[in-house]
Structure 1
Amino acid sequence: MKTIDKKNKIEKELVFKISRMKEVIKPTKPHKHAGYHEFIILNEGAGVHTIDDTDYEVNPPALFYLNGEQVHCWDFTQIPKGYVMIFKEAFLDEFNDIEPLLSSIPTHMRLGKDNKHLLSDFDLMMKEFDSSRPNQLVLKSYLNVIIYKINELVTRNSQAKGDDKTVSAFKALVDKHYKTEKELGFYADQLHITKRRLSTLCSAEVGRPASSIITERLVMESKRLLRYTNNTISEIAHELQYSDASYFVKFFKSKTNLTPLEYRKRF
Structure 2
Amino acid sequence: MNAAPIPFKNKLGKDQLFKISRFKEKIKKTRPHKHGGYHELIYLTQGEGYHWIETEKFKIEAPELYFLQSGQLHCWQFTSIPRGYVILFKEEFFNFINEASILNLMKNLTSVVNISMHGQQDLTFIFEDIIQEFNSGNEFSDQVINGYLRVLFSKLLQLSSTNATRATPNLLFDRFQKMITEKCPDLRNVNDFAQELQTTRQQLNSVCRRHSGKSASDHITGQLLLEAKRYILHTEKSMSEIAHLLNFNDTSYFIRFFKRHERVTPLQFRAQYFQ
- TM-score bin (small chain): 0.7 to 0.9
Residue 139 (structure 1) aligns with:
142
Deviations 1:172-230 (A, max 9, x none): 632423633665996997996974x8546546xxxxx5665554333212211334456
- Equivalences, count: 258
Q: Secondary structure at the match of 2:33?
A: coil
* Alpha carbons 1:166, 1:191 under 8 Å: kept: no
Change (3 A) 1:264 1:88: same
Residue 206 (structure 1) aligns with:
none
The CA deviation at 1:158 is 2.6
Residue 120 (structure 1) aligns with:
125
Residue 217 (structure 1) aligns with:
223
* Alpha carbons 1:242, 1:248 under 8 Å: kept: yes
Residue 257 (structure 2) aligns with:
251
Which of 184, 207, 232 is the matching residue for 1:226? 232
Deviations 1:57-112 (A, max 9, x none): 21122111222322222122232221011123332254446555434324222235
**Cα distance between partner residues in 2 of 1:33 and 1:198:** 25
Residue 173 (structure 1) aligns with:
176
**Cα distance between partner residues in 1 of 2:40 and 2:64:** 14
> TM-score if structure 1 supplies the norm length?
0.74
Of all paired residues, the percent bearing the same amino acid is 32
Which of 99, 105, 108 is the matching residue for 2:109? 105
> TM-score if structure 2 supplies the norm length?
0.72
**Cα distance between partner residues in 2 of 1:172 and 1:217:** 15
The CA deviation at 1:124 is 0.8
Q: Secondary structure at the match of 2:255?
A: helix
Residue 161 (structure 1) aligns with:
164
Residue 91 (structure 2) aligns with:
89
